[in-house]
Structure 1
Amino acid sequence: MSAVWISFSLLRSRETHLRQLSVFSRRAVLQPVQVVSSLQKTWTPGNPTWCCRSLHVDSPPMVPGQSFSYVHGASSVSLLGQTVGQSLQAAADRWPHREALVFVQDGVRKTFSQFQEDVDQAAAGLLALGLKRGDRLGVWGPNTYHWILFQFATAKAGIILVSINPAYQLKELEFTLGKTTRPAYGDCDRQQTDRDCTCRGCDAGWKQTAPPGAAGPADQTVLRRPHQHTVHIRSPKGATLSHHNIVNNAYFVGLRLGFNWKPIRACVPVPLYHCIGSVIGGMCMALHGITLVFPSAGYDSRANLEAIQNERCNFLYGTPTMYIDMLGQPDLHNYDLSSVESGFTGGSLCPPEVMRKLRTDMNVKDMIIGYGTTENSPAAFVGYPRDNEELKTETVGCILNHAEAKVVDVSSGEVVPLGDPGELLIRAYSVMLEYWDDPDKTSEAIAKDRWYRTGDIASLDRFGYCRIVGRIKDMIIRGGENIYPAEIEKFLHTHPNVQEAQVIGVRDERLGEQVCACIRLKEGLDCSREEIRNFCKGQISHFKIPHYVVFVDSYPMTASGKVQKIKLREEMEKKLGL
């Protein structure tokens, strides 16, 4: 049955053409539609026939097609079979003189042909050092030209890249380096580490040409290290991604964002060691010919605004926190941001109020939100540029091409009715191969039928759009009531004095947990605990109203701009004497 459905999905958009071919009868084309109608009327939990549904996503779905919490993003656009190195070579052949990379702080500018030449020479240098196909090479550093150079050079040489979080401490770094066969160092930012690191290995073969066959095979892995979900020092998990994973994910994300039909000059403040930077940034550059502008080695809101103005960027990358910081700059109105047209955000939920301010204060007419995890290479859902305001502010986009998603009951694992919340699962070409050298963690995350458990609570609508309720681990259980922080954070962002709000659960002897709101106020404005609580009364359920309100100047952050909620909880419990 599944083979029949795949054929129909691919051919549906060409129905007019198929009618002219005698080999296909009208009855064969219409028969699956009749089956769908039957399925929609007979759905029950656990019914195996739900797996046959699909939704065409080459353009925004116009007709609702879902009747239960499963969606398959059918597409007439085929997956790519090329490697990372082949993707960059094709870009250099097609746009040799187009600017590919700009590193503002370092004064580096490279066209596609120049970048391709540097990648070939760096790959030859790595091979001249004695590194060989299948070896693992660690890159530890901020956003500099050498980082993205070695991202593509390792792929060209068939070497596995281990991207290392520059915020790692000694024990974390020791573990990560233990996973690599040979240590290598990128350009390290003196502001982020005291270690004096240099780029070693380039000079040995810098003037050589990469030998024939140096490019790795299509299944050559790229090892990435996502953020830990806890701040306790422990061995971080290594999500192992293939060329096939990241090439295709970047390709379809780029198509969804419109990179294939208009010139893009993108401001990229997100870190390259993170998948948003290296895949949705670096790989989209190689596949769609866009120009990437990196404002600074480390995150700097003012540098971002200057880069947008001086480089005339028309597209922005960023996490919600990065955008909040830029919106919070007191002299924001002094910058010329007229070139900005659209942007992309992901990494965490973006409050609707922030999305609206981006449009009014930063000229971002189309802010496109996406959802994913490093384990998904990284995107699974991405919005369309022409989505209406509700979809842009209330969902994380529509299912990506050639991906499946379902929402299941956390306890039973059964698919829930449409619109009901449950754990989000993803199955696609983009799901990682494994957690490196960790079969137990891999089997916990990926079932035998290749469904990946995200750990996020979500719901699906009839058009294949996803709403994220929150993370299972972030859920607050107050006296038996399940509370999702994202809902309260979204409401608190509507307060006129609030710049940013983060909600956590803290210990309580009677109720188990209490709601604690940690609030950053807008510069020059003041507020009290009672004002915040009174603002909530009558607007959200009484048990969701923050019991504790703490005003803060900053939050503990990861290097990629995500709030470390577990560390924030520890700080608040200590401050409140709990």
Structure 2
Amino acid sequence: MAFIYDTIGNYIDKVCDKYPDKEILIYPEGNIHYNYHEFINLCNSLAKGLIKLGIKKGDHVAILSLNSPEYIALIIATAKIGAILVYINANYGKNEFEYVLKHSDCTTLFLTNGFKDINFIDNLYSICPELKNFKPGELKSNKFPYLKNVIFLDNISNKNMFNLEYIIKTGKDVQDSVLQERSLKLKSKDIINIQYTSGTTGNPKAVMINHYSILNNAFAVGKNLKYSSEDKLLLCLPLFHVMGCALSAILCLMRGAVLVVIDRFKTSTVLEYLSKEKCTAFNGVPTMFKFILNYPELQKADLSSLKKGFIAGSYCNPNLVLNIMNKMNMKELTTLYGQTEGLTLCQNICENPMDKKVNTVGKALPGIETKIVNPNTGKEVTYGILGELLVKGIYIMDGYYKNIEATNKAIDTEKWLHTGDLAVKDKEGFIRLIGRIKDIIIRGGENISSTEIEEYLISHPAVKQAAVVGVPDEKLGEEICAFIIPNDEVKVTKEELIKFVKDNLAKYKVPKYIAFVDEFPTTSSGKVKKYMLKDTAVELFNLNNVENMTAASQ
């Protein structure tokens, strides 16, 4: 693979020159259509507006919004002027929002009203009440010393904030040559994005990513997916995540594919527009695909055009992958594996044998090296032996913003990124994921993979989803607790599930505790927040004293 030494804005300009009149973006809920010429004009207008506002190369510009055409345009606009776009998770509550806004040192915040029961404006006024005392662009806040500008993406008038229309209007004073001069000064290795990790434990860390990593990763993944100018992707993955931003939006812009954008995932809406727009591609996390496959009216949807896409974000059960291929007509579905810290690291391709496609995450992408090491000794293990997956290569982050200690812990002196994932590599280079190291349960000295027990529980017809965690135990150190989302159509008791596991797995892998729940707490990318389940189990089974005793003895 010939690597791309370019900037995102410059690369997209070249694609626009190639397909000026080709439709590139559809926002069906607003009946909005853009061809490449119209879209790049919007990007340039936003970029010039930001220059007029005083945004300089390296300034941090944050966005808090659901998916929209303006969101995608802002991704390209900030890349064109060298501003670093900070992606804020739309699901954040006030405390998380405050942490990220303060930690990221943003000068400018783009936001919308919010959605459902999350009001972005109210949350902003709550954490920054002094905003009410200043005119647009003149904010002075001790808590947020860098923040000066707040901009509505919804074009709503507010005495304390600019709106998008104003930014575009003022940008007309900026000559095209000024934007071009700014763009030409940028380099491919310049940091252009800050993506916050999912935050399954503690505060999220701010991952810094450059143009080079994003462009080359998106190019490699798109090539493996065989996306082309003939494809049409339904985009519902959140743009504040690398899978939505780099691996869907930017990837499709690079390959000339049409983006059908919906603001967020909703099963009925996804199926409606997959059918109406005759989409050929869909990217999603396991949770999304499970909702679609379990939707009562799935058979009524016309998925005859759908054929390709990827599934990623968390562990993919082999049966789930097969069901997607067969029931959603996605014969060219590929699995991929990555992290915010390294974008996509491994990917299957359509030509791989079926057993590899459903049981592994494929091989390392071009530009990536992998090795499996013993987590305790750090020494590389042989093929077929379980250990921690380490990766090295061109897509690895530049580091965590303002957190050198965490950066050095994640990336060692030889530039290997420690993924924290347990995996096995075969002689052909295929990687099979087993689970997270932190999810390993140590019961009486036995190391137990929670993923193995979850996978077995899911094979029971009465179990829709399962999540297994370790909980404190006075005698064994840890015991096994299984949280079950039941299948409404098939009934089962706790005793029957325990017997089911006992009859087929080793005795030490049998859960001591089982709890039936309606849903799991998850991150925006569908990862289960197991630390919350552990807390729930401690309360549910009255293990507080055990926990305190265990913690005191460590």
TM-score range, shorter chain: 0.7 to 0.9
Q: CA–CA distance in 1 between the matches of 2:538 and 2:295?
A: 30
In structure 2, relative to structure 1, the CA distance for the partners of 1:201 and 1:449 (3 Å cut) is farther
Q: CA–CA distance in 2 between the matches of 1:298 and 1:205?
A: 26
Count of aligned residue pairs for this structure pair: 496
Q: Deviations over 1:9-59 (max 9, x none)?
A: xxxxxxxxxxxxxxxxxxxxxxxxxxxxxxxxxxxxxxxxxxxxxxxxxxx
Q: CA–CA distance in 2 between the matches of 1:281 and 1:453?
A: 25
Q: Is residue 154 from structure 1 mapped to residue 82 from structure 2 by the alignment?
A: no
Q: CA–CA distance in 1 between the matches of 2:10 and 2:387?
A: 40
Confirm or deny: 8 A CA contact 2:112 2:120 kept in the other structure.
no
Which stretches in structure 1 are left out of the alignment for 5+ residues?
Answer: 1-76
Secondary structure at the counterpart of residue 80 of structure 1: coil
Q: Is residue 560 from structure 1 mapped to residue 514 from structure 2 by the alignment?
A: no
Q: Which residue pairs with 1:99 in the alignment? A: 23
Confirm or deny: 8 A CA contact 1:250 1:284 kept in the other structure.
yes
In the TM superposition, 1:130-145 aligns within 5 A as: 130-145=54-69
Confirm or deny: 8 A CA contact 1:324 1:499 kept in the other structure.
no
Where relative contact order (Cα < 8 A, 6+ residues apart) is larger, the structure is 1
Q: Which residue pairs with 1:307 in the alignment? A: 273
Confirm or deny: 8 A CA contact 1:242 1:433 kept in the other structure.
yes
Secondary structure at the counterpart of residue 488 of structure 1: helix
Q: Give the superposition deviation at 1:317.
A: 0.7
Confirm or deny: 8 A CA contact 1:504 1:515 kept in the other structure.
yes
In the TM superposition, 1:335-374 aligns within 5 A as: 335-374=301-340
Q: Give the superposition deviation at 1:192.
A: 5.4
Q: CA–CA distance in 1 between the matches of 2:5 and 2:109?
A: 30
120, 124, 128: which one aligns with 1:195: 120
2:255 corresponds to which letter in structure 1?
Answer: H
Confirm or deny: 8 A CA contact 1:125 1:201 kept in the other structure.
no
74, 80, 88: which one aligns with 2:12: 88
Q: Which residue pairs with 2:264 in the alignment? A: 298
Q: Which residue pairs with 1:6 in the alignment? A: none
Secondary structure at the counterpart of residue 467 of structure 1: strand
TM-score by length of 2: 0.86
Q: Give the superposition deviation at 1:204.
A: 2.9
Q: Is residue 317 from structure 1 mapped to residue 283 from structure 2 by the alignment?
A: yes
Q: Is residue 224 from structure 1 mapped to residue 178 from structure 2 by the alignment?
A: no
In the TM superposition, 1:523-538 aligns within 5 A as: 523-538=488-503
1:99 corresponds to which letter in structure 2?
Answer: E
Q: Which residue pairs with 2:167 in the alignment? A: 204
171, 181, 186: which one aligns with 1:213: 181
Q: CA–CA distance in 2 between the matches of 1:249 and 1:491?
A: 34
Q: CA–CA distance in 2 between the matches of 1:427 and 1:545?
A: 37
Q: Percent identity?
A: 31
1:170 corresponds to which letter in structure 2?
Answer: K
Q: Deviations over 1:164-216 (max 9, x none)?
A: 11222333322322222413123343225213372246423446355222323
Q: CA–CA distance in 2 between the matches of 1:525 and 1:109?
A: 45
Please report the RMSD computed on the Cα atoms of aligned residues, expressed in angstroms.
Answer: 1.8
Q: CA–CA distance in 1 between the matches of 2:400 and 2:106?
A: 17
Q: Is residue 257 from structure 1 mapped to residue 216 from structure 2 by the alignment?
A: no
In structure 2, relative to structure 1, the CA distance for the partners of 1:99 and 1:563 (3 Å cut) is farther
Q: Which residue pairs with 1:284 in the alignment? A: 251
Q: Is residue 180 from structure 1 mapped to residue 134 from structure 2 by the alignment?
A: no
Q: Which residue pairs with 2:143 in the alignment? A: none
In the TM superposition, 1:502-521 aligns within 5 A as: 502-521=467-486
Task: Give the stretch that moved more between structures: 113-122 or 329-338.
Answer: 329-338
Confirm or deny: 8 A CA contact 1:317 1:344 kept in the other structure.
yes
Which stretches in structure 2 are left out of the alignment for 5+ residues?
Answer: 122-150, 154-161, 544-554
Q: CA–CA distance in 2 between the matches of 1:342 and 1:285?
A: 13
Task: Give the stretch that moved more between structures: 455-464 or 166-175.
Answer: 166-175
Q: Deviations over 1:104-153 (max 9, x none)?
A: 33332222221111100000011111111111101111112222111111
Task: Give the stretch that moved more between structures: 238-247 or 485-494.
Answer: 485-494
Secondary structure at the counterpart of residue 429 of structure 2: coil
367, 384, 387: which one aligns with 1:402: 367
TM-score by length of 1: 0.83
Q: Give the superposition deviation at 1:291.
A: 1.6
Confirm or deny: 8 A CA contact 2:314 2:526 kept in the other structure.
no
Q: CA–CA distance in 1 between the matches of 2:308 and 2:507?
A: 38
Q: Which residue pairs with 2:297 in the alignment? A: 331
Secondary structure at the counterpart of residue 375 of structure 1: coil
Confirm or deny: 8 A CA contact 1:410 1:423 kept in the other structure.
yes
Secondary structure at the counterpart of residue 20 of structure 2: coil
Secondary structure at the counterpart of residue 214 of structure 1: helix
Runs of 4+ in 1 over 6 A off after TM superposition: none
406, 423, 426: which one aligns with 1:458: 423
